[in-house]
Amino acid sequence: MGLSDEEAAEFDSIDTIEAIDKALQGLGYQTDRIGHIQALTKRLAEGDRWDMVFNIAEGLRGFGREAQVPALLDAYDIPYTFSDPMVLALTLHKGMTKHVIRDLGIPTPDFLVVEDVSEADRVDLPFPLFAKPVAEGTGKGIGTASKIKTKDELVRVCQKLLEAYEQPVLVETFLPGREFTVGITGTGRDAVPIGAIEVVLQKDAEPDSYSYSNKKKFEKLVKYRLVKDASAKRALEVALASWRGLGCRDGGRVDLRAGADGMPQFLEVNPLAGLNPDISDLPILCKLAGMTYRELIARIMESALTRAASFDPSEEIRLHPSPVPA
């Protein structure tokens, strides 16, 4: 499609697709690979239907790109895994998400959304600040220049991001503490945290952030450490409150960073988290927490099937108790 590596960074590789397919078949499900939204549209028009769609489609354009497949499936009354269109559209926009999080009383860094470079000069938050595109994942648009110490730097970085990504820029107070990722499975009251890992940057990594470059070369630049101390427990609490408050479903991740006081604050949520068994944060977290990849997929399916109106609890093949044997 003529996309660059960075533009396609959030798309799933064949390795990820095959791993999910293998896990689902290993759990007893019959699978059918659909493809992207154009393939889904064609097959729906031809009359194809499914009991459940395992949705991992990231989409390509606009703030609603992750919501397109769920919205289409809702129109055909076909159940699917993960969050609904409203949640996926909201959470893709980091600024709108933080408005809701702040309204819920959940700690998050002070922030502003810059839509035009002229607005950058009027930002009145105390330095240092941190700037990133408002609706990108995989660390896209984040690098050494993201931590900002002066007004001139802020204007320059905002102008560059506005031009490069053609979307607003989230500017927030920089948090100097530890960075956490919390994995969660389930929906609403049934949602539970899997555990928390700390993202530890190595000496050759870009400093101060879990950037696009650091994520791309994580084997050399990043160490993930399962943590259970007081700050980690607080991260679990903040993450779970965020997950439930935003209405996220089935499985995903919440990213947090601690302030100078050591208390973790909400950064962003990923309700459509990467599922590559070897390189994605959520499966890496699960492995460190003692959960197999198959069990992760089983928990996601269990949550989705419990929500589905057509779910029949007598069909044991559709619902596997945790933990599921490897």
Q: Do 295 and 211 lie in a common domain?
A: yes
The reported pLDDT for the residue numbered 88 is 97
Tens digit of each residue's pLDDT (9 = 90 or more) over 207-229? 777 776 767 777 888 899 999 99
Q: Do 155 and 43 lie in a common domain?
A: no
> Would you state the structure tokens that stand for residue 119, as one six-digit string?
């607005």
Q: Do 236 and 296 lie in a common domain?
A: yes
Tens digit of each residue's pLDDT (9 = 90 or more) over 16-45? 999 999 999 999 999 999 999 999 999 999
Q: What are phi and psi of 249, to 5 degrees?
A: -135, 150
Q: Do 167 and 118 lie in a common domain?
A: yes
The reported pLDDT for the residue numbered 324 is 33
Q: Do 153 and 274 lie in a common domain?
A: no
Give CA separation, 247 vs 159, 185, 189, 274, in Å.
34, 12, 10, 19
Angle at 196 between CA 192 and CA 197, to 5 degrees: 150
> Would you state the structure tokens that stand for residue 15, as one six-digit string?
């390795």
Phi-psi region of 259 (alpha: psi -120 to 50; beta: other; left: phi over 0): beta
The reported pLDDT for the residue numbered 93 is 96
pTM (global) more than 0.75:
yes
- Give the domain range for residue 195: 1-107+175-326
> Would you state the structure tokens that stand for residue 136, as one six-digit string?
């990108």
> Would you state the structure tokens that stand for residue 88, as one six-digit string?
């996926």
Count, residues in the chain: 326
* CATH number where 248 lies: 3.30.470.20
* CATH number where 139 lies: 3.30.1490.20
DSSP for 66-113 reads GGHHHHHHHHTT--BSS--HHHHHHHHSHHHHHHHHHHTT-----EEE
Q: Do 144 and 13 lie in a common domain?
A: no
Domain boundary, last residue among 134, 150, 173:
173
Alpha-carbon gap, residue 218 to 212, rounded angstroms: 10
Domain boundary, last residue among 130, 157, 173:
173
Q: Do 278 and 303 lie in a common domain?
A: yes
The reported pLDDT for the residue numbered 206 is 79
**How would you class 211 by CB atoms within 10 Å of its CB: exposed for 0-12, middle for 13-18, buried for 19 or more?**
buried
With H, G, I as helix, E, B as strand and everything else as coil, classify residue 321: coil
Alpha-carbon gap, residue 240 to 65, rounded angstroms: 25
Q: Do 162 and 307 lie in a common domain?
A: no
Domain boundary, last residue among 145, 173, 201:
173
Alpha-carbon gap, residue 226 to 97, rounded angstroms: 27
The sheet carrying 111-114 orders its strands as 111-114, 169-173, 129-133, 147-148
Alpha-carbon gap, residue 150 to 167, rounded angstroms: 22
Give the total number of structural domains in the chain.
2
Q: Do 230 and 91 lie in a common domain?
A: yes
Residue environment code for 216-237, b if the CB has 16+ CB neighbours within 10 A, otherwise e: eebeebbebeebeeebbebbbe
AA letter at 312:
D
Q: Do 212 and 285 lie in a common domain?
A: yes
**For the chain, which ranges sit under pLDDT 50?**
310-311, 313-326
Q: Do 134 and 179 lie in a common domain?
A: no
Q: Do 57 and 132 lie in a common domain?
A: no
Angle at 185 between CA 175 and CA 313, to 5 degrees: 165
> Would you state the structure tokens that stand for residue 45, as one six-digit string?
């028009």
